[in-house]
């Protein structure tokens, strides 16, 4: 069974934003085999103030704040998808009728000249629908204002074309002394547009009433204009056969408009009920961040405090499995015992009336170590020491509680911005944590015979042996190796080969790959990667002391971390900060 690695971060809107490319472990094949990771965005700047940086990091939270689902990014994404679908359908429809009209182009020269402006309007609207479908692309993260403009284009352009066609048809049918068939044909087009809007556009009924009402009135206004400007049409309506036609069309359009508005209200009510149903206690779920074999992680908000957080819930289909549920609860209890600044904070946990179990974690802006190395290359020795000392402190507390993490890897060590401080290490995901003395384990960690991530697991984990704190030390050594060289100690296409290598092969010395690494740091890394647990550092405290003794030219400090984030963290930082300021003002 695959083990998911949860990463708690802020979701990026598109692949062009800072850090929008998801990065797993060093080998993508192996990472994908055992890891499910959500998209994220990074915190950084180009000389901006700390307040701007924090605001920039929280920009996606501002997007989803609000008491109704209509202001959420989920609704914006839904509106974009629906508008694109409508644009594609209208493009296909208008294009088909355009081809049909070209095939049957057999009118006289006089009628061709009269119809030419209608024909070119048809071509323009068809092209505009194709352009709108392209602009509303799947990867585009458009603001609500831009989406409303897109809505006006997608429904406004066809409305203008229908007005043109309606007037032309009324003029044409008056010349032929006909009416009902032609009027019914243009009315059908308006009804199609009205119900398309009602079905596809998420809206409040009041706003929909204005738009749908305008669509329903448009053909009646055109008919009135035609009555006043086309003498033949006015004469036609005065005859006994056609004098009731305006009333019939008005009643039909009014009934369609009322039905559409009620439909919008019904759909919106159902959607709101589904939205409310996604609440867990005092926490409102905003968007899915990631999913895996154990459950799902959502961006959420406490409804009273308006505090962003991450909520992990068990999968509904797994709720009936007592072993999985017991393992899930054990993860909460194990992590909740930890209070160190460098461990992920657990705010709350509970159950919903339907039996869904969840717990609430802090929400972290920043990068994980895998992303730092992938996007910015190997880290200097001073920064490796700065970050890993914090991890050692967090892990020492876990070991003091008798907990072995068993899934330490770059994706589970977060380099966050917390409390006005940059480069705060956060140790995440104690989902595989196991008490050293747990007589009630009963095989709760045996969803798979192997637990952890192959690229960074210890030999004893690879051999499914009992592990202790020294297994975490090996994984820390593998992570430091990755930070210093940009590679995991062993990288093979097959997870099995990687696990065999951990148990039988010696890693290439880090200084062969990066000559700037101090020899003392290399010794610490290689000692941590010893095959036999008794040859490694015996406690995290010993590893911490060894890291303290590594000489560096300049110690990495919080100030240097802030300068790095300001200068290298994200080229789009200014645009991101401006967007966050604009959103906060809404």
Report d(CA 312, CA 361) in Å as an integer: 8
231 catalytic, yes or no?
A: no
Helix (H) or strand (E) holding 417: strand 413-418
Backbone angles phi, psi at 20, to 5 degrees: -80, -10
Q: How far apart are CA 566 and CA 573, in angstroms?
A: 9
Length of the chain: 586
Using alpha carbons, list the distances in angstroms from residue 61 to 118, 574, 575: 47, 17, 16
Q: d(Cα 157, Cα 162) in Å, to the nearest integer?
A: 9
Buried/exposed code over 149-185 (b: 16+ C-beta within 10 A; e: otherwise): ebbebbbebbbebbbbbbbbbbbebbeeeebeebbee
Cite the DSSP H helix spans in 28-176: 28-34, 50-57, 59-64, 73-103, 109-135, 144-175
Contacts of 585 (CB under 8 A, 6+ apart): none
Residue 139 is assigned to a ligand binding site: no
Helix (H, G, I), strand (E, B) or coil at 355: coil
- Closest to 26 (Cα-Cα) out of 571, 490, 568: 490
Residue 241 three-state SS? coil
Give the three-state DSSP class for 311.
strand
Of 533, 539, 536, the closest CA to residue 460 belongs to: 533
| Axis crossing angle, helix 558-568 with helix 50-57, rounded to the nearest 10 | 60
Beta strands in 136-282 (DSSP E): 279-280
CA quadruple 355, 6, 342, 465: dihedral positive or negative? positive
Counting Cα atoms < 13 Å in the Cβ hemisphere of 211 gives 25
Pairing of strands 357-361, 346-351: antiparallel
- Candidate list 393, 407, 429, 472, residue with the active-site label: 407
3-state secondary structure of 341: coil
Task: Name beta bridge partners: 310.
Answer: 299, 361
Separation of alpha carbons 314 and 364, rounded Å: 21
Query: Which residues are identified as catalytic?
Result: 407
Which residue ranges are tagged as binding site for ATP?
312
Q: Which residues are annotated as a binding site?
A: 312
């Amino acid at each position: 069974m695959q083990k998911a690695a949860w990463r708690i971060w802020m979701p990026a809107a598109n692949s062009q934003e800072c850090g929008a490319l998801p990065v797993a472990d060093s080998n993508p094949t192996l990472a994908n085999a055992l890891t499910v990771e959500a998209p994220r965005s990074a915190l950084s700047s180009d000389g901006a103030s700390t307040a701007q940086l924090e605001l920039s990091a929280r920009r996606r939270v501002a997007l989803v704040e609000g008491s109704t689902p209509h202001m959420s990014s989920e609704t914006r994404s839904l509106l974009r998808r629906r508008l694109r679908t409508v644009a594609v359908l209208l493009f296909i429809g208008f294009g088909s009728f355009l081809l049909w009209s070209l095939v049957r182009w057999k009118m006289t020269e006089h009628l061709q000249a009269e119809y030419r402006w209608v024909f070119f309007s048809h071509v323009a609207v068809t092209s505009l629908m194709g352009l709108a479908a392209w602009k509303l692309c799947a990867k585009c993260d458009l603001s609500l204002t831009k989406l409303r403009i897109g809505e006006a284009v997608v429904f406004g352009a066809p409305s203008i074309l229908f007005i043109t066609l309606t007037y032309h048809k009324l003029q044409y049918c008056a010349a032929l002394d006909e009416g009902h068939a032609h009027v019914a044909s243009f009315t059908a087009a308006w009804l199609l547009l009205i119900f398309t809007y009602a079905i596809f556009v998420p809206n409040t009924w009041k706003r929909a009433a204005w738009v749908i009402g305008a669509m329903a009135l448009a053909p009646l206004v055109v008919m009135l204009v035609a009555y006043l400007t086309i003498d033949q049409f006015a004469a036609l309506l005065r005859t006994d056969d056609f004098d009731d036609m305006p009333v019939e069309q008005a009643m039909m359009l009014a009934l369609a408009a009322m039905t559409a508005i009620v439909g919008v209200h019904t759909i919106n009510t159902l959607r709101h009920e589904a939205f409310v149903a996604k609440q867990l206690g005092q926490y409102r779920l905003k968007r899915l961040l990631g999913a895996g074999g154990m459950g799902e992680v959502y961006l959420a908000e406490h409804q009273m405090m308006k505090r962003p957080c991450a909520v992990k819930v068990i999968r509904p289909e797994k709720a009936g499995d007592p072993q999985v549920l017991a393992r899930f609860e054990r993860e909460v209890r194990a992590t909740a015992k930890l209070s160190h600044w460098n461990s992920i904070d657990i705010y709350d946990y509970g159950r919903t009336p339907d039996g869904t179990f969840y717990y609430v974690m802090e929400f972290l802006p920043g990068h994980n170590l895998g992303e730092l190395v992938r996007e910015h290359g190997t880290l200097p020795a001073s920064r490796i020491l700065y970050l890993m000392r914090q991890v050692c402190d967090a892990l020492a507390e876990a070991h003091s509680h008798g907990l072995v993490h068993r899934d330490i890897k770059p994706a589970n060590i977060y380099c966050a911005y917390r409390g006005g401080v940059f480069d705060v290490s956060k140790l995440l995901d104690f989902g595989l944590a196991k008490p050293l003395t747990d007589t009630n384990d009963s095989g709760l960690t045996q969803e798979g015979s192997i637990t952890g991530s192959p690229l960074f697991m210890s030999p004893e984990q690879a051999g499914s042996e009992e592990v202790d704190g020294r297994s975490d030390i090996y994984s820390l050594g593998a992570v430091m190796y990755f930070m210093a060289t940009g590679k995991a100690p062993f990288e093979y296409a097959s997870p099995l080969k990687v696990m065999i290598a951990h148990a039988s092969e010696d890693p290439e010395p880090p200084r062969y790959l990066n000559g700037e690494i101090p020899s003392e740091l290399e010794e610490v890394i290689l000692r941590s990667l010893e095959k036999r647990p008794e040859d490694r550092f015996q406690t995290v405290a010993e590893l911490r002391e060894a890291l303290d003794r590594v000489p560096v030219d300049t110690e990495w400090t919080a100030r240097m971390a802030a300068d790095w984030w300001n200068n290298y963290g994200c080229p789009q930082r200014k645009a991101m900060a401006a967007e966050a300021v604009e959103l906060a003002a809404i």
